[in-house]
Amino acid sequence: MNTKLKDEKEIKQRTRSWLLKEAPGDHPGSKMIIQQHWSDAADVKEFKNLVLNDNRLIYNKGYALLSREHQKHHFYRIMDFLEKSNHDSIKIPLNEIKIGNKQMYCYIANGNSDFCSRVTLFQKHEKFNENMLGHVMKVNGKFNVYDESEEIIKTLEGNYTIFSGYGFIIFKEM
């Protein structure tokens, strides 16, 4: 597999390198699963489809990078993951949201130019493939999340990593 995949120009270099590694949080044996998909595929297009439709690989960094190469469908993969993991997203009709408290506030862009942010909260014990989204910010303390009318929709307290991109803003409790 290594020679064929490394020579393949239809998959970006960074994505190829992560498909050939196992990282913390990956499904056990994900490298072998990916190698099997490469052996089974007739061409690169079929290989991509096999990887992106294998639910065992949804936490794999290579999977996320491969998905991001196809932005047209990437949004729907994130939506599908959130639906399957029973996470409700709050839709805010802005391309950024305001978070903060009386001492400070900031705006977090959703990484997309459309005017709808889907805001989702993940608890500490819940898994999320952080590589599916591109922008990262860390927040510590007590802060509010505001809607488009600057009304408080959620108050959070603790350590959070905020991931954003493709119209999504995800708060992951640390």
The amino acid at 90: I
Q: Tell me, what's the pLDDT at 5?
A: 53
Prediction pTM value: 0.87
Q: How far apart are the first and last CA of the chain?
A: 37
8-63 pLDDT, tens digit each: 677 888 888 888 787 777 888 888 999 999 999 998 889 999 999 999 999 999 99
Q: Tell me, what's the pLDDT at 157?
A: 97
Q: Tell me, what's the pLDDT at 2?
A: 46
Q: Tell me, what's the pLDDT at 8?
A: 62
Between CA 41 and CA 43 the distance in angstroms is: 5
Q: Tell me, what's the pLDDT at 53?
A: 94
Q: What is the DSSP letter of 115?
A: S
Domain range annotation of the chain? 2-69, 90-173
**Does residue 149 carry a pLDDT above 70?**
yes
Q: Tell me, what's the pLDDT at 133?
A: 94
Q: Shortest CA distance to 97 belongs to which of 150, 135, 61?
A: 150
